[in-house]
Amino acid sequence: MKKLEQKMLHAVLNRRNFKNTNTEVISLSNGDVFVKLYETIIYAVFRGKEYFSDGGWNTNTTASRLRALGANYSINEKKNRCNLTNYVVMNNMYFKSLFNIY
């Protein structure tokens, strides 16, 4: 695991905001946590449940971040064992959480 991914994971587990180069952890006051790679949400803890998404970016960097977060993800579709959430759904969760819409 890369040092950046260790810091990212530490921020997620401790519900802390973090930003370094292309990776950002957003921890909201309601307990929800989101991880962005560039501007794409790739991970969410929304209302106590985990969600993973590659946002349509099937890249080595995305795969590495998702695996660091605990996803059984592979860029090879035959080896991918991760249930992915659509990026539109991930964005909707983020905005619902951000504006406390329930």
CA distance 18 to 21: 10
pLDDT of residue 1: 79
**How high is the pLDDT of residue 72?**
96
pLDDT in the model for residue 37 = 98
The tokens of 38 are what? 């560039």
pTM of the model: 0.94
Range of the domain at 72: 3-98
Per-residue confidence in pLDDT tens, the chain, 102 aa? 799 999 999 999 999 999 999 999 999 999 999 999 999 999 999 999 999 999 999 999 999 999 999 999 999 988 989 999 999 999 999 999 999 887
Helix (H) or strand (E) holding 40: strand 40-46
Nearest C-alpha neighbor of 36 from the set 66, 59, 67: 66
* The pLDDT value given to residue 7: 98
Number of domains in the chain: 1
